[in-house]
Structure 1
């Protein structure tokens, strides 16, 4: 059982900053931030979960916990969770070492919403609410000194010539009819480096201010995520997925920006990418949906973020009241926007041609709540860090289709890499 208390806040930004800085003292941290984006499916402004006596790294244990405990869980499924769902393997190079899945049952949850901090503490920690609130207020009233980040020299795992060669191999598979589309990703990395994950996240989030930002600390591994994409959400019997496919840069002025948006909506290649993945998501949701309930609410709608324009589609369905949450994840994972179509064939070819194991990149971070609901993002536009190995990494990708030009795909990857690279290289 949890004790609930609420406190009114005066400044949303100050309260969020204070809460995030307060989390530094904890071993397990999950911070989810909507950056004040509002859509029909928003859950809260931000949420912090800290502390635990129970970490789950096995899907069977995850399902058992949700069935018996009916309480909050925060964590992630890495991309390699696919290997537990299909006859697939991942033998590529991996330095980050994130577990396939990892969730924790938090001692303390603080939700920022509707002008209040909502404390939801396990009964054993309820007597700490007042003291914790007082500490958070101190952070709010004190300017936290900004720590400088030493610039880091980023290296590319795949150089341009090798990228072109691999992109053309993807195209050969497409022309043979093995696949229609594949999301080809490449890693950027640095070795023997130390970073401040909290400051790194703050800088990355400030550049993009996306709707599905996340910070995770579990053991010595960190995720700093500025994701614009929702993978899947369940609220009651309704299920929502919002895949992104189609990217264009922001313009230098309002007039150019509008021209770019219009061009993106009319771009046949970008629309084809999005429509293929929308169809794949419709198929995934239909596995558990009530008959006739799968609908496309938005198709190829332009959403604008600080650095890019994106084409986003919204697909919804309805499931039975007793639908198992983890089973719904299993039926739709990994998200089609990060694989391609057909999904199994695309994932096999991806493993052959990519140089590194994706790990948590292109996996998903989020939460399960006590009422059978959940919300998960897509781990893109993210920095991953193994503090013990002093290894920092980020990956980016683009969709290869029959209409793809390797040079254009390469430039799209550089555009997507810009925010992470700026944060790490400019310090």
Structure 2
């Protein structure tokens, strides 16, 4: 254990040190003090072994990989693993080419709680090596402006939403999460972009993940699923409001969000969906809502977050728990399978790792996975960057307001890229 004299300086050096490896994972809670947080920062760098696969029998392959390695695992679950769980398909264009499932056993692990650093590595002088590392983050403001395009114009988006609402009126679904892609084709500096995004968003489930030439630059406010001993915790987000310009306006916006019937309707539908998912791996009678309609404030937005917990039934494997609850209800809709099927029809690009999850499994068989939203995804080989935004569509949704909500959610991403949005 090491006591850090200047935590911020060490973290900046550690991020730059880790960025030299082809595979790495960084999870930053930004010191949010929510009750289930275990670490302020986790860094896993370089690899001993790895798993990379498409959706076909992906969870079976992950089970074998997990059984082979009983220590730390870090990795990602792409949204299109839905096709391994249900009879679904993903045929929309994919310009990022992330694998559907990817995990690695790290060579080096850094764990920070408060000002205490724990190093797990065979490299004896790793702490000193990081302390001496010099590779300053470049000033991104000097980079050229990035042109960002979108798969739907505003008019096209509104037409799609109204068509989806016709399907809701017909009884096909009750609610869905309709997403659109924003993209550009030019080189970016991944770590610098993460540095800018993380400073502006300050999200509790921020992450920087590199898988060879592919990067996840993430400012997620949402936990998909965590395991603490025999307890599972899911914290879906449904309900978004902008921040105010004054404390008084901020309080009014929070109160308005909390009392908004539409936002409550969306949230409770997903709570019910998550409760149903958790029953697949929970001891009978233990699924309960720990918090309903909690309002949490972040630098960019206010969010309505509910917390659902359960006690895990005996002999339930880690991988089966993940499979039973994936994809997360907040990014699908209800009924879940039909909503996923319809969004494949209405959306214009493959989601891939967007609305999937990245996280880690500990040697004690606990885990923590976020929801990959508010995230810039980047393929360095073809210099293609992308981010999606989605919102909940119900019968009462206002299509124009849902479009504006999508733009609100991507504001920090555009700024981090020094981007200019084109219709």
Q: TM range, normalised to the smaller chain?
A: over 0.9
Distance 1:358 1:313 in 2: 24
Match of residue 302, structure 2, among 306, 309, 333:
309
- CA-atom RMSD in angstroms: 1.4
Match of residue 28, structure 2, among 29, 33, 54:
33
| SS class of match (2:299) | coil
* Deviation for aligned residue 1:144: 5.0
Question: Relative to structure 2, which stretch is displaced further, 149-158 or 70-79?
Answer: 149-158
**Is residue 43 of structure 1 aligned with residue 35 of structure 2?**
no
**Are 1:149 and 1:196, in contact at CA under 8 Å, matched by a contact in 2?**
no
**Are 1:185 and 1:398, in contact at CA under 8 Å, matched by a contact in 2?**
yes
**Are 2:147 and 2:419, in contact at CA under 8 Å, matched by a contact in 1?**
no
Q: Which residue of 2 aligns with 1:152?
A: 146
Q: Which residue of 2 aligns with 1:253?
A: 246
Report 1:156-305 matches (<5 A). Answer: 156-191=150-185, 193-305=186-298
Distance 1:144 1:31 in 2: 16
CA shift digits 1:383-412 (9 cap, x unpaired): 000000110001000000011010010110
Q: Which residue of 1 aligns with 2:404?
A: 411
* Deviation for aligned residue 1:40: 1.3
Match of residue 19, structure 1, among 14, 20, 33:
14
CA shift digits 1:182-217 (9 cap, x unpaired): 0000000011x1111000011111111000001110
Q: Which residue of 1 aligns with 2:329?
A: 336
**Are 1:236 and 1:321, in contact at CA under 8 Å, matched by a contact in 2?**
no
Distance 1:273 1:129 in 2: 51
| SS class of match (1:17) | helix
In the alignment, structure 1 segments of 5+ residues that lack a partner are: 1-5
Could you list the runs of 4 or more consecutive aligned residues of structure 1 that deviate by over 6 angstroms after TM superposition? Answer: none
| SS class of match (2:315) | coil
Give the TM-score taking structure 1 as reference length: 0.95
Q: How many residues align?
A: 414
**Are 1:16 and 1:112, in contact at CA under 8 Å, matched by a contact in 2?**
no
**Are 2:137 and 2:192, in contact at CA under 8 Å, matched by a contact in 1?**
no
* Deviation for aligned residue 1:33: 0.4
Match of residue 400, structure 1, among 377, 393, 396:
393
Distance 2:64 2:91 in 1: 29
* Deviation for aligned residue 1:358: 0.3
Q: Which residue of 2 aligns with 1:3?
A: none
Distance 2:143 2:315 in 1: 48
**Is residue 56 of structure 1 aligned with residue 51 of structure 2?**
yes
In the alignment, structure 2 segments of 5+ residues that lack a partner are: 53-57
